[in-house]
Amino acid sequence: MEIRIIVNGAEKRWNVEPGELLIDVLRDNGYKSVKKGCGSADCGTCTVLLDGRAVLSCSVFAASVDGKSIETLEGLGSEQQLHPIQQAFLDASAFQCGFCAPGLIMATKELLEKETVLTEDQIKRELSGNLCRCTGYENQVKAIGGLMEKKREGK
Q: SS in 3 state form for 81-125?
A: CCCHHHHHHHHCCCCCCCCCHHHHHHHHHHHHHHCCCCCHHHHHH
Q: Specify the DSSP element, H or E, that contains 51.
A: none
pTM for this one? 0.93
Average pLDDT, the chain: 94
Provide the pLDDT for residue 134: 86
Tell me: do 126 and 145 sit in the same domain: yes
Tell me: do 55 and 106 sit in the same domain: no
Phi, psi of 56 (to 5 degrees): -90, 110
Tell me: do 15 and 70 sit in the same domain: yes
Q: Give the CATH number of the domain where residue 25 resides.
A: 3.10.20.30
Tell me: do 67 and 90 sit in the same domain: no
14-39 pLDDT, tens digit each: 999 999 999 999 999 999 999 999 98
Quote the Cα angle for 41-46-50, to 5°.
Answer: 95
78-111 pLDDT, tens digit each: 889 999 999 999 999 998 888 999 999 999 999 9
Query: How far apart, in whole angstroms, are the C-alpha atoms of residue 99 and residue 103?
Result: 9
List the domain range (segments joined by +) for residue 17: 2-75
